[in-house]
Amino acid sequence: MSTTVFRIGGDLEVRRLGFGAMHLPTDPGPGPDRENALAVARRAVELGVTLIDTAYMYGWGANEELLAEALHPYPDGVHVTTKVGIARAVPSGEWMQDGRPAALREQVEQALRRLRVERIELLQLHRLDPKTPLADQIGTLRDLRAEGKIGRIGLSEVTVGELAAAREIVDIASVQNRYNLLDRGHEPVLAACEAAGIAFLPWATVAWGRSGATAEVAAVAAEAGATPTQVALAWLLGRSPVVLPIPGTSRIAHLEENLAAEGLTLTGAQRLRLDRLSGGGSALPGEQA
């Protein structure tokens, strides 16, 4: 079985199988949905999750506030990584990239306040902004790191070339790209991360549930006495030691199912059958991470 921990940036030790908070409802009002969301976040930590992924875009800060309500003061070793660089367009309300230095600084300051921390151990740029020079975007995060407001810098949805260009400006500790058993379009980026020891956080880890509809995945799951979701996650964990899956859910039963995938060992023959699968589809409408 592959190791269950990874040191992001060489020193921030986390459990490789994390939790993506994107699907937790962020309605600020009290009620059963919010209580359930709080319970899911707390259960993740109870089960040993140490890396929780969120973003300003998830509820425009409400997801960060939810996690702080559920978990603050954070147990030792638990880290919430968040993402900045996305803003709401006015008046449409649609999202857009915003990597202007002032905007990034403001989003980081607000994230610190919402998460109730003085330093964000891993801060990721949600999307590169084509309207802002890369040096200004990455340079701003570098400056914030020097000021002690963030510990490590990551990127999301980048190419090999963009990753290389960013690394000329500052050390990059993580990359968060869409990648799963059926969608391996970012294989070259994963290879670059593995070569450099950079954490690779795949999102859409189970292909939005489509893995279970694939006959080969279903067959392997039946052989292994596991669910298709667990097979998809076990495949990711075995794919490379730098892969840190962050499956998301709003249900405790699914959370427990996901985390149990860490104990599933696929045989070499099963992995070979799964390796032959490939999707490569684009994101579904409304799916962003």
Token pair, residue 139, equals: 């340079």
Q: Is 194 exposed, middle or buried (CB count within 10 Å of its CB: 0-12, 13-18, 19+)?
A: middle
The verdict on pTM exceeding 0.85 is yes
Over range 257-279, report the average pLDDT: 93
Residue type (1 letter), 283: A
Is 229 part of a structural domain of the chain?
no
The pLDDT assigned to 279 comes to 54
- 58 given a catalytic annotation: yes
Over range 123-133, report the average pLDDT: 98
Q: How confident is the model at residue 2 (pLDDT cuts 50, 70, 90)?
A: low
Is 146 part of a structural domain of the chain?
yes
Residue type (1 letter), 1: M
Over range 142-169, report the average pLDDT: 98
pLDDT tens for 21-71 read 999 988 767 889 999 999 999 999 999 999 999 999 999 999 999 999 999
Question: What residue numbers bound the domain in which 68 lies?
Answer: 8-205+242-249
Q: How far is CA 241 from the centre of its chain?
A: 16
Which residue, among 240, 255, 261, has the nearest Cα to 175 in the 3D structure?
Answer: 240
pLDDT tens for 238-254 read 999 999 999 999 999 99
Is 193 part of a structural domain of the chain?
yes
Q: Is the pLDDT of residue 103 over 70?
A: yes
For residues 203 and 21, is the Cβ–Cβ distance under 8 A?
no
Is 74 part of a structural domain of the chain?
yes
Is 214 part of a structural domain of the chain?
no
**Spatial CB neighbours of 117, under 8 Å, sequence gap ≥ 6:** 74, 80
The pLDDT assigned to 25 comes to 85
Lowest-pLDDT range of 1-10, 160-169, 269-278:
1-10
For residues 233 and 258, is the Cβ–Cβ distance under 8 A?
yes
Which residue, among 252, 203, 210, 185, has the nearest Cα to 51 in the 3D structure?
Answer: 203
Q: Is the pLDDT of residue 151 over 60?
A: yes
CATH of the domain at 18: 3.20.20.100
Is 112 part of a structural domain of the chain?
yes
Q: How confident is the model at residue 16 (pLDDT cuts 50, 70, 90)?
A: very high
Is 117 part of a structural domain of the chain?
yes
Over range 275-289, report the average pLDDT: 57
Total structural domains within the chain: 1
pLDDT tens for 179-236 read 999 999 999 999 999 999 999 999 999 875 676 678 999 999 999 999 999 999 999 9
DSSP calls for the chain? ---SEEEETTTEEEESS-EE-TTS----S-SHHHHHHHHHHHHHHHTT--EEE--TTTTTTHHHHHHHHHHPSPPTT-EEEEEE-EEE-TTT--EEE---HHHHHHHHHHHHHHHT-S-EEEEEESS--TTS-HHHHHHHHHHHHHTTSEEEEEEES--HHHHHHHHTTS---EEE-B-BTTB-TTHHHHHHHHHHT-EE--BSTTGGGGGGGSHHHHHHHHHHTS-HHHHHHHHHHHH-TTB----B-S-HHHHHHHHHGGG----HHHHHHHHT----PPPPTT---
The pLDDT assigned to 166 comes to 98
Tell me which of 56, 58, 74, 179 is the catalytic residue. Answer: 58
The pLDDT assigned to 92 comes to 78
For residues 217 and 211, is the Cβ–Cβ distance under 8 A?
yes
Mean pLDDT of the chain: 93
The pLDDT assigned to 287 comes to 47
Is 269 part of a structural domain of the chain?
no
